[in-house]
């Protein structure tokens, strides 16, 4: 007897595309499949409405997954730059903390305040954007536009510290608390970065030293966990 022909799945029937995607690749595949299904003529209106609803939800999910992937890539790419800048900032802060009271002046207090802002800058800078270095290898090559964007982000961080959204001294914050703070304030920092038009190109802006290739010396930075 001839084998029975397999039933071809009709648009809107449950199947692989009814499952939530677990990766960006599978999400893109489902978006393509739904777009293809919607292009077929003669679809019942109820089926079309359901497919459009799924497509809209998956498109939002695809955008979120793309952003998350970009965030992860940038966090890895700029880890070394931030690590070395943080070390420099913490070293100077520790030096200021050890100053005898009679040597603490208005200028040293002002410097400490600025360094605490810079420490939060290296910690909570929005990951989806190109990192603007605090200490570029050749400051003369830093454009005025880059300087303005860097100072605007610094200002937003200082304001967040004043309002309590960000810690006064990031050295005193645990790893778990840093993760929670970064997550809860990411939207605020992203809004600032978007308003500034911060680019997403490769390499830390204003820093010609290829610090991304440094830091592979076995040093671990739990600060950025």
Burial of 39 (0-12, 13-18, 19+ CB in 10 A): exposed
Contact 66, 29 (CB under 8 A): no
What is the distance of C-alpha 209 from the center of its chain?
22
Phi, psi of 22 (to 5 degrees): -105, -5
Instruction: Tell me the pLDDT of the chain (225 aa) as tens digits.
Output: 455 444 455 544 444 555 777 777 887 888 888 888 888 888 888 888 888 888 888 887 776 666 666 666 656 677 888 999 999 999 999 999 999 988 999 999 999 999 999 999 998 887 777 889 999 888 888 899 889 889 988 888 898 888 888 899 999 998 888 878 877 766 566 656 655 565 444 445 655 443 433 444 444 455 444
For residue 114, CA distances in Å to 68, 80, 122, 153, 182 come to 31, 22, 13, 13, 20
Give pLDDT, residue 7: 47
Give pLDDT, residue 28: 82
HEC assignment per residue over 84-127: HHHHHHHHHHHHHHCCCHHHCCHHHHHHHHHHHHHHHHHHHCCC
Give pLDDT, residue 225: 41
Phi, psi of 135 (to 5 degrees): -130, 75
- The residue ranges of DSSP E strands in the chain, in sequence order, are none
Nearest to 162 by CA among 117, 105, 109, 110: 117
Question: Alpha-carbon distance 185 to 67, whole Å?
Answer: 16
For residue 186, CA distances in Å to 7, 46, 89, 126, 198 come to 48, 39, 22, 6, 15
Give pLDDT, residue 219: 47
Give pLDDT, residue 171: 92
For residue 39, CA distances in Å to 17, 35, 52, 101 come to 16, 6, 11, 75
Give pLDDT, residue 39: 85
Give pLDDT, residue 213: 38
Question: Alpha-carbon distance 58 to 28, whole Å?
Answer: 8
Give pLDDT, residue 214: 41
At 210 the three-state DSSP class reads coil
Give pLDDT, residue 51: 85
Q: Which helix (H) or strand (E) holds 147?
A: helix 144-163
């Amino acid at each position: 007897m001839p084998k029975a022909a397999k039933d071809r799945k009709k648009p809107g029937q449950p199947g692989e595309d009814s499952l939530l995607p677990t990766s960006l690749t599978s999400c893109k595949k489902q978006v393509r499949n739904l777009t293809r299904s919607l292009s077929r003529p003669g679809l019942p209106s109820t089926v079309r409405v359901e497919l459009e609803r799924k497509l809209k939800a998956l498109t939002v999910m695809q955008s979120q997954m793309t952003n998350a992937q970009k965030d992860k890539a940038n966090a890895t790419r700029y880890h070394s730059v931030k690590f070395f800048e943080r070390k420099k900032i913490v070293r100077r802060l520790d030096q200021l903390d050890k100053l005898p009271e009679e040597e603490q002046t208005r200028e040293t207090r002002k410097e400490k305040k600025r360094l605490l802002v810079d420490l939060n800058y290296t910690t909570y800078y929005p990951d989806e954007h190109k990192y603007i270095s605090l200490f570029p290898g050749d400051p003369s090559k830093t454009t005025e536009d880059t300087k303005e964007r860097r100072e605007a982000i610094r200002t937003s961080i200082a304001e967040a510290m004043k309002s309590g959204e960000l810690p006064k001294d990031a050295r005193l914050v645990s790893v778990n608390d840093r993760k929670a703070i970064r997550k809860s304030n990411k939207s605020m920092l992203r809004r600032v970065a978007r308003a500034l038009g911060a680019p997403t190109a490769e390499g830390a802006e204003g820093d010609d030293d290829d610090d991304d290739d440094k830091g592979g010396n076995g040093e671990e930075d739990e600060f950025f966990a």
